[in-house]
């Protein structure tokens, strides 16, 4: 057997990251490659304001959100083309051919088509063999964590599966109301991808614990207004910003839940090297990190460059942080997301 499942025995392990680590399960897989794709040209706050005649200022946008620029797709670019390019970079980094991939999961809520899924478009574009699992996951901005969680089941139940592509990809520019200054300044397009590779026996790096939650009673606070069964068009972002802000900080700043997940992973908050949160708003990230008592220098923050790219924001942030040389082998990461639904999730990971 290549790996141990979640029921493996708790074993005390040596001190790592300054904390005593209790190992309750060996990770099933690790990140073998990461990549991203952004549309060609960044659009500054000033350019966005001018393009859409918004009653706003670059200073207002940056001071309330931390966002300095975002990327929007141009003609010929779609969620699937961004996802495919991000996946190609991740495969190159992992030194893998698409032929080696056994499953393609794409987290998105802005798919090219209602059906088929973006994942099948990516599968075809990359040349991933027919017969592999390929499907989309829609948990809005928490989608990447939801997809990560699904990989644990796939690795646990399919012994022949060696590599899974997990992609977060969005073209939110397609669902923005450019007459609504309180939402259209917040979002951007992009894609990030990771290749997860099955661990060999004894390998201790990789995905440790993933948790998710949802509260559908909060759906009216952040939704698309329309959809296939409600008007037949995709709709645009409808959001009660201040209320969403408060919920996001409360959820992402939940110290007890975060500490519990890390404890289940065998660590404490003090042992964390990087918090990689969903990039919604720099003020949300700062407030949540403060509530978690995590110093700002341990928080990967890319919202200034990419804006909120929904399900793409965490893999984009991972790829960006790796390019910057911030992530080092053996470091403990906590990925953390919050989004429409509401949905949320966390994942602990040894890089």
Q: Under the criterion CB under 6 A, does residue 224 sit at the interface with ligand COA?
A: no
214 binds ligand COA (CB under 6 A): no
What's the rounded Cα separation, in Å, for the pair 43 and 270?
38
- Given a contact cutoff of 8 angstroms between Cβ atoms, the answer to whether 47 and 71 are in contact is no
Q: With CB under 6 A as the contact rule, which of the stretches 11-19, 58-66, 162-170, 319-327 interacts with ligand COA?
A: 58-66
| Burial tier of 241 (Cβ tally within 10 Å: 0-12, 13-18, 19+) | middle
For the segment 123-162, give every residue that binds ligand COA (CB under 6 A). 141
> Does residue 244 bind ligand COA (CB under 6 A)?
yes
Active site residue 29: no
56 counts as binding ligand COA under rule CB under 6 A: yes
Given the residues 45, 141, 199, 320, the one annotated as active site:
141
84: phi then psi, degrees, rounded to nearest 5: -65, -45
The alpha carbon of 260 is separated from its chain's Cα centroid by a whole number of angstroms, namely 21
| Annotated catalytic residue within 30, 163, 278, 306 | 278
Q: Which stretch binds ligand COA (CB under 6 A): 9-17, 90-98, 129-137, 178-186?
A: 178-186
Binding mask 300-339 for ligand COA (x = CB under 6 A): --------x-----------------------------xx
Q: Is 199 a catalytic residue?
A: no
Q: Does 248 bind ligand COA (CB under 6 A)?
A: yes
In the residue annotation, 184 being an active-site residue is answered as no
- CB burial of 243-254 (b: ≥16 within 10 Å; e: otherwise) equals ebbebbbebbbb
Report whether 67 contacts 61 (CB < 8 A).
Answer: yes
Which DSSP string corresponds to 262-317? HHHHT--GGG--EEEE--S-HHHHHHHHHHHT--GGGB---HHHH-B-GGGHHHHH
Residues contacting residue 39 through CB under 8 Å, at least 6 positions apart: 71, 72, 73, 74, 77, 82, 189, 190
CA 350 to chain centre: 16
Which secondary-structure segment (H or E) carries 199? none
Site map (CB under 6 A) of ligand COA, residues 67-86, x = contact: --------------------
In the complex, least distance from residue 185 CB atom to ligand COA, rounded to whole angstroms: 5
- For residues 1 and 55, which CB has a smaller minimum distance to ligand COA in the complex? 55
Catalog residues that contact ligand COA under the rule CB under 6 A.
56, 60-61, 64-65, 141, 181-182, 185-186, 239, 241-242, 244-245, 248, 280-281, 284, 308, 338-339
Active-site residues, by number, are 141, 278, 308
């Amino acid at each position: 057997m290549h790996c141990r499942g979640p029921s493996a025995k708790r074993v005390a392990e040596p001190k790592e990251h300054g904390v005593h680590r209790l190992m309750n399960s060996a990770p099933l897989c690790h990140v073998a490659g990461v990549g991203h794709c952004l549309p060609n040209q960044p659009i500054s706050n000033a350019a966005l304001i001018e393009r859409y005649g918004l009653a706003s200022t670059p200073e207002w946008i940056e001071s309330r959100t931390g966002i300095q620029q975002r990327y929007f797709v141009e003609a010929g670019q779609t969620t699937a083309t961004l996802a495919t390019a991000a996946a190609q970079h991740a495969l190159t980094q992992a030194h893998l051919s698409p032929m080696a991939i056994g499953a393609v999961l794409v987290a998105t809520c802005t798919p090219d088509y209602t059906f088929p899924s973006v994942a099948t478009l990516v599968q075809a574009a990359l040349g991933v063999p027919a017969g592999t699992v390929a499907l989309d996951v829609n948990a809005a901005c928490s989608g990447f964590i939801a997809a990560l969680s699904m990989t644990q089941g796939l690795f646990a139940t399919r012994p022949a599966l060696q590599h899974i592509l997990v992609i977060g990809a969005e073209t939110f520019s397609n669902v923005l109301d450019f007459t609504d200054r309180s939402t259209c300044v917040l979002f951007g397009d992009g894609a990030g991808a990771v290749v997860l590779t099955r661990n060999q026996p004894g390998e201790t790096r990789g995905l440790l614990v993933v948790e998710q939650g949802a509260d559908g009673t909060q759906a009216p606070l952040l939704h698309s207004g329309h959809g296939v069964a409600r008007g037949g068009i995709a709709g645009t972002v409808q959001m009660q910003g201040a209320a969403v802000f408060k919920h996001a900080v409360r959820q992402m700043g939940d110290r007890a839940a975060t500490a519990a997940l890390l404890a289940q992973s065998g660590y404490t908050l003090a042992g964390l090297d990087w918090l990689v949160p969903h990039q919604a708003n720099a003020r949300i990230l700062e407030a949540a990190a403060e509530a978690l008592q995590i110093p700002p220098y341990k928080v990967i923050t890319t919202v200034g460059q990419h804006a909120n790219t929904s399900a793409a924001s965490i893999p984009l942030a991972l790829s960006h942080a790796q390019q910057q040389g911030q992530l080092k082998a053996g470091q403990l990461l906590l990925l953390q997301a919050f989004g429409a639904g509401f949905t949320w999730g966390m994942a602990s990971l040894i890089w």
